[in-house]
Every structure is written in structure tokens, then in C-alpha cells.
Structure 1
């Protein structure tokens, strides 16, 4: 079945529509009905920048299916490092802010695909009008903050191979299959290390039979083995998310 979105397509036309984003799927029917007229199906491209540091975040995106975006911290010399990974379990932009919403980092699409876009002002109005709705997004904001906090500890305390395994597992969860389209350059940027370091680490993981690398892609061969290599951060973030948002977690 073709699951691609058409611009302007009625969300109610497919019973899989909003359910392809788990945060939207967790909304009470009445709250979803409030949002539906303002949710616009969009197709996001790989490398598309959703907002830059300092931009007013006027649009919030709900990734669907296998779509994934990264929140990046950008240094003065142009280097980037990932602060958070967001897929169909969440939303990008405008989660808790009111009024002027300047972005602190850059949001970039890593895995292209479908998403829903909504004006952040409409999202804010809906949260204000429904305490249950507001609570859901507050809990999601807490889980996103936990991911960022754990990432700080991970970058400071854990080996690159452990961090690399953690990141591949997070992307594998969101990609929904074993093949991840990813270059060594992109992975190096996400981890904040040199490309040569990534080449060495992925080579070691491949030699252990955990992944298989091809030109521009990485295939997860042994997920359980990759979980054993990954640092504690992966399980800690997943557990916190499941505790805070059991209706969103798979």
C-alpha cells in the first residue's frame, strides 16, 4: 500500500493517519479533533533544515513512520553535535514554549519521509484548552530533556564504540528496519568525533558481526549484540520514556 502523503490530504481519510505518530495517537479523541483542521501532511527530505539557532519556531513537526530528525548544537566554527534524536514517538519544535520561541539549536531531517506540520500557535492554544493535552506534552518535554541530559553524560564518560552503538540502536528503533542510510561523515558529526574515528569504530563493530557497512549505509545485523556493546544510556533513556509516556512507548 502506498503510504506517501499528498499535500492537503484529509487526515481522516486514512485510519493510519495520525496513528503513524505515536504522540498524536496518544491524544484523546476530542483533543485530536481540535488539532485535525490545523495538521498539514508534509514530506520531509533528507538534510532538510527545519529551523536554525535563533529562528522563531513557528511550526511544530510530528514525524511519522520512519521519519527522523536530529536536534543539533552548532558551534561558532560551524561544527555540529547531536543533542537529541526524534522520530515517530515525538515532535520537533514548540513543545513547551509560549510567545516568542527562538530555537537554541538546529533541527535537521536525518531519515526522510512523512510528517504532520502544525502552527505552533495552534498547538499552544490546544494545550491551553485541555489540561490532559498539556500534561501529555509536558511529559514528552521531560523525556526529551532526559535524553539530552543523558547525552551530556554519555559524551563525557563513555567510549566512542559504546556511544556509536547507542546511536545506531536509537536510529534503528525509528527506522523500523535493519538498514540505515548514513555516511561516516554524518555519523561523525552526530557523535562529535573525527571521520577516521568512526571508520575505525564501525570497522570493529563489523568485524564482530554486529553491523555491515556499505557505501552510504549501515545495516544492523545483530541487534542484541549491539545492545551489549552500547552504554547504559540507551536503556536508561528508553526506560524513562516508557515510565513517563506508557501510552506513547511501543
Structure 2
């Protein structure tokens, strides 16, 4: 069966001729939960366009502590912007939800981007959205309470998948938020009591999405609006499920 690379919405947004220039070099790959695609300083050899997979870019401190600074789902591409000059990964690229992705050698993507202005313009718009998302996430991590940040993070995963049940453990959620596991446990228990989520071993199920949006900080809405302005159609409509 022919791979449907345009399950990734950034690839789907390309003009037909631009997509055709990439298609022969795209490979369908399976990404496993917690698979590390790149460590800090690794040379970026491939760019990943996720389908149902979700990839996090996390900053790794000297003591081993980690904090998520960006997330990539079917609206974007992982590794694209790290490779513009040095081709060295900013941080650790780790799979937070297993699934498929389209993978392309960086050299070919870069050559096509330079040769086809419309494709290059789309990638530039994605770059602006990515940088704005990172800016907002860093600010969020610094000033907003854990409960609001946790809701933002759950919503960001929910946006990028077609299911309400998300494979999340307290340990992994704590790593992404840069907080203690005990703090995450308190927050998720509060959200469950409020009827917003349901917890089970190894997963969190979204029960009341609208309630999560109301509890999340302003950053969630700002990031959505940025993508909707710069890359229309790459995110699903809010409250569509």
C-alpha cells in the first residue's frame, strides 16, 4: 500500500508540484514510545514529519534534568530548524507518543526548499510559528502554575492525536514539565476530581476538553492562534471532539 505522507498537515499544505518534488524521497517510519531520535549535539540527518506520532524537543541540563521546550505533531516537522547552519540538534528529540512519520534526508529537503520558493515560504512560516511556540513555552514554564501548564500540555497532545486516551505516565509528564512527579500526581488527581480527565495505569483520558481549556493558561490559546494565522488548517478546530 502506498504511504499517505500527507497525513502530516504541513506536507498536505504544500502545493502539488512542491509535494511531488519531495515525495520520492519520503520514507514511512514507525516511531516507538520514548525512542530518542537525536541527542544534543547529534548531526541532524533526517527531518521527521509526524502522522499520529508526537515528538518532544527537551533541553537536557548538566544534572540530567529535562524540560520540554517544543512539541511536534502532524502540524509540523522535527529537526527542520535545528539543521539550518550547524546541523546539530538543539536538545534531545524524544518520541512521546508512538506512531508513524514521514522521514526525509535533510540534504534533499534543503535542496528542494532552496529551489522552490513557495515551499521555502511555507517552511519559513512554520519556522516563525515554531519559534513563537518555543518563546511562549519557555515563558509558560517560568511563570505559570503547574496545574495550568499540565492542562496546556495535555491539550497539546490531544490536538495532535485522534484519540481521547493518551499514553501518559506521571513520570513522563513530570519530565516534560520539569517538575517533581509528586507534584504531577497532585495536579492530575485534582483534574480527575473536577471531572476533566480520567486516570488509569499508563494513560490519561480527556473527559471534558472545554474544562481543560478553561483551566489551562493563556499560552495554549496563543500558540493555537499563531498556527491558525501562519499555517491555516494544520491544527484541528478547537473543541471539535
TM tier, shorter chain? over 0.9
Q: In 1, distance between residues paired with 2:42 and 2:93?
A: 11
Matches within 5 A, 1:220-235: 220-235=206-221
Alignment partner, residue 94 of structure 2: 108
CA apart distance, 1:97: 3.9
Partner of 1:37: 24
* Segment drifting more, 95-104 vs 70-79: 95-104
Tell me which stretches of 4 or more aligned residues in structure 1 moved more than 6 Å.
Answer: none
Aligned pairs (5 A) from 1:25-64 = 25-64=12-51
Q: Which digits, 9 at most, give the CA deviation of each residue in 1:46-79, with x for residues without a partner?
A: 1111111001101100101x21000000001111
| C-alpha distance in 1 between matches for 2:111 and 2:164 | 39
Question: CA offsets per residue over residues 113-143 of structure 1, 9 Å max, x none?
Answer: 1111100010000100111000101110111
Q: Which runs of 5+ in 1 are unaligned?
A: 1-8, 12-16
Larger deviation, residues 169-178 vs 120-129: 169-178
Once the two structures are superposed, the pairs formed by residues 62-73 of structure 1 within 5 Å of their partners are 62-64=49-51, 66-73=52-59
Distance in 2 between residues matched to 1:247 and 1:177, nearest whole Å = 19
Alignment CA distance shift 1:129-1:49 (3 Å): same
Task: Point out where structure 2 has 5 or more consecutive residues left out of the alignment.
Answer: 237-241
Matches within 5 A, 1:98-177: 98=84, 100-177=86-163
TM norm structure 2: 0.95
8 A contact 1:96–1:138 mirrored in 2: no
The number of residue pairs the alignment matches comes to: 236
Q: Report the alpha carbon displacement of residue 177 of structure 1 after superposing the two structures with TM.
A: 1.5
How big is the alpha-carbon RMSD for the aligned residues of Structure 1 and Structure 2?
Answer: 1.2
Equivalent position of 2:7 in the other structure = 20
1:247 shift after superposition:
4.4
